[in-house]
Amino acid sequence: MEKKNNGILSMYSPSYSAGDPSMNVPVYSQQGLAPLSPYLNFDPTYLQQSQPEFIFPEGAARQRGRFELAFSQIGGSCMIGASVGGMGGLYNGLKSTTLAGQTGKLRRTQLLNYVMKQGATTANTLGVLAVMYSGFGVLLSWLRGSDDEANTLVAATATGLLYKSSAGLRKCATGGAIGFGLAAAYCLWNSRDRINDIRHINPA
């Protein structure tokens, strides 16, 4: 009976010895090579760790161009404009209805009117600016054959000039200056790593 129990236990917890042939798994495929995996049975030296993390189609750029980014920029600008304008409309509506002493359904209706009107106006404004900026950026990238900070600066300046072109020469120049300033700040922020590298190479 005891031998039978020992046989059953050995099935679930077998004991291995150094002389067991199944334990002689080669650690190296050949002398002087990297360790061979006993589970996958391949030489790890064949794996090249310097390959890119993502696979791109042949001849494709490693980042999206201005035309691909234009759709997300326009949509994002409209959504941000609607959110900011809606919050501003809600604030103005609460203030106006409180001063007017409105309550109940009349106040709720007025609040909805304020939110919808100001949200739509702000979303339309930012959407138009995004369309202008994206259009100028795509056109400049196509004409120059490159996409760099110069395209961003020129596109933003042209957007400000065109948006305020019907308000007079002074406001037109102000719009262009604002566009150029925002684009310059954006370019400086994106190029901060290169600026830091230059400062480390050539300390003042």
**Where are the domains positioned within the chain?**
66-124
Phi-psi region of 32 (alpha: psi -120 to 50; beta: other; left: phi over 0): left
Q: Which of 84, 175, 178 is nearest to 123 (CA)?
A: 84
Burial label for 135, CB within 10 Å (0-12, 13-18, 19+), is middle
DSSP 137: H
- Output the tens digit of pLDDT for each of the chain's 204 residues: 555 555 554 555 555 555 555 555 555 445 555 555 556 555 556 666 555 555 555 555 556 678 888 899 999 999 999 999 999 999 999 999 998 888 889 999 999 999 999 999 999 999 999 999 999 999 999 898 888 889 999 999 999 999 999 988 999 999 999 999 999 999 998 887 777 777 767 655
Radius of gyration, alpha carbons of the chain? 33
Backbone φ and ψ of 35, nearest 5°: -60, 140
pTM of the model: 0.64
Distance (Å, whole) CA 1 – CA 121: 90
Q: Which of 154, 127, 129, 126 is nearest to 140 (CA)?
A: 154
